[in-house]
Amino acid sequence: MIPYFDDNRQQLIARRSKIFILILALFTTSGIFAQEAQNIADLDFLYHQIQKLPSYKDQFKGKKSYHNLYENIRKDLKTTDEIKIYQKLLQLIQPINDNHLGFWRKSDSTAKFSPLRMLIDTMEVKTKNSSSYSNSIEGIYVNTDGSKHLLFQFEPNVYYLQSFKIGIIEAILNRTANESYDAILFVGSPVPYVLNRNFKIQNGKFGNLSFYKVGYRPVPPLEIGYNKFEYTKIKSEIGYLRLSNFSASNDNFNVAKAFYDSIRTKITTQYLIVDLRNNSGGGYRTSKQFLTLLKKYHGKIFLIQNNNTVSNAEQFIIDIRSKKRLVTLGETTRGTITYGSNYGKTVSLPSGRFIFYPTDMRGRIKDLAHESLGLRPDIVLDQFGHNWIEQTLNYLNKAY
């Protein structure tokens, strides 16, 4: 009787195990379907939001290629990996030449994010960095705090920026068609990661972050004053005008208007250096008065620009280019020029995980031609020489 009892017990255990496995499979399958449904809901929502954009209507309305892209992404959204879902959703944004668009992980104190980590073969890095590797964007970058970071190609057109010390991946760069990158920056609390569009690596500098490639030096800082707006005479015949931003906020507009009123009759020098470095843009509410002032100015203008000259500051340069007595100097601007947002509204995707920042401004054709590419200067200044104002003065003295 005992063997018979043992057989029944074993059969019972086997049946219960099968039932448990079946129930677990059902729950797992149900969870996968639920996750997929959530991911599809986010994709569908983002797709319909994008179709409202002026930039979408200019570039993709009526074209099957974009709808086909959406359908292909929709076929494979079963993953539970949040970063992978974020990257798949980014594929809808990447084709649109509109660098004011934003997309980031919603702030969530309860969410847990495990940073990506990879081992670094230090000998391989040193070997590559001493050869042709050193002439590419790949290599070792140093932060201003002295920490070292490695930028390497992970797969075709995808690069990782990794902490040399702890192995954490701090950015994922996806190459675009315009020799720039759509960068996912892992920035930590309160927003774990964010999209940085039209990210460029230029003259050894890593975008608008404080990283420089080994062998390069930081570009010279601004040399005159710390005020948002400033005018001074460098010499009796040379004036210097610093315009740091064109924000249309009431506070900034009031400061800009008071400054404009104080200098509008004082700029009478034969030459004028206009410094737009690091001007993050804004709106014509603030910039138009200075644009009008410079168009009426009868002297020669030398305008300094850099890769952090952005948005309405780039439009400012385009609008003043019609003035024949103008020379631009420095480096190519960012190329984040057109569209923009009137109201700064954001929308949350259905899952509550991601935030989309849409644009609603119509783009000007003359601006769109430079979107992502930027505006090249007439005269390229030495990134690693003496300060740019002195270089501008040297050019002025030799040419005029």
How does pLDDT run across 81-116, given as a tens digit for each residue? Answer: 999 999 999 999 999 999 999 999 998 877 777 878
How does pLDDT run across 177-234, given as a tens digit for each residue? Answer: 887 999 999 988 788 999 999 998 887 888 888 888 887 776 666 655 567 899 999 9
For residue 3, is pLDDT > 60? no
CB atoms within 10 A of CB 16: 10
- Residue 226's pLDDT is 62
pLDDT band at 300 (very low <50, low <70, confident <90, very high): very high
Residue 41: phi and psi, rounded to 5, are: -60, -40
Domains of the chain: 2-101 (no CATH), 122-213 (no CATH), 229-337+374-399 (3.90.226.10)
Contact (Cβ atoms closer than 8 angstroms) between residue 345 and residue 49: no
20 vs 287: which has the higher pLDDT: 287
Contact (Cβ atoms closer than 8 angstroms) between residue 309 and residue 278: yes
- Which DSSP helix (H) or strand (E) runs through 304? strand 300-305
| pTM metric for this prediction | 0.85
- Residues 157, 172: Cα–Cα separation, whole Å: 10
Residue by residue, DSSP assigns 67-135 as HHHHHHHHT------HHHHHHHHHHHHTTS--TT-EEEEPP-TT---PPPB----HHHHHHHHTTGGGG
Q: What mean pLDDT do residues 49-55 have?
A: 97
How does pLDDT run across 142-184, given as a tens digit for each residue? Answer: 888 889 898 988 999 999 999 988 889 999 999 998 879 999 9
- CA nearest to 367, candidates 58, 51, 61: 58
For residue 4, is pLDDT > 50? no
- DSSP-derived letter for residue 224 is S
Query: Would you say the C-alpha torsion 378, 383, 385, 388 has a positive or negative sign?
Result: positive
pLDDT band at 29 (very low <50, low <70, confident <90, very high): low
For residue 2, is pLDDT > 60? no
Exposed, middle or buried, 208 (CB in 10 Å: 0-12/13-18/19+)?
Answer: middle
3-state secondary structure of 289: helix
pLDDT band at 257 (very low <50, low <70, confident <90, very high): very high
Indicate the range of 16-25, 28-37, 218-227, 291-300 predicted with least confidence. 16-25
Sheet holding 326-330, edge to edge: 229-235, 238-243, 271-275, 300-305, 326-330, 379-380
- DSSP-derived letter for residue 168 is B
Structure tokens at 144: 């201003």
- Residue 118's pLDDT is 80
**Which residues, including other chains, have CB under 8 Å from residue 369's CB and lie 6 or more apart?**
none
Structure tokens at 121: 């073969």
For residue 374, is pLDDT > 50? yes
Contact (Cβ atoms closer than 8 angstroms) between residue 331 and residue 380: yes
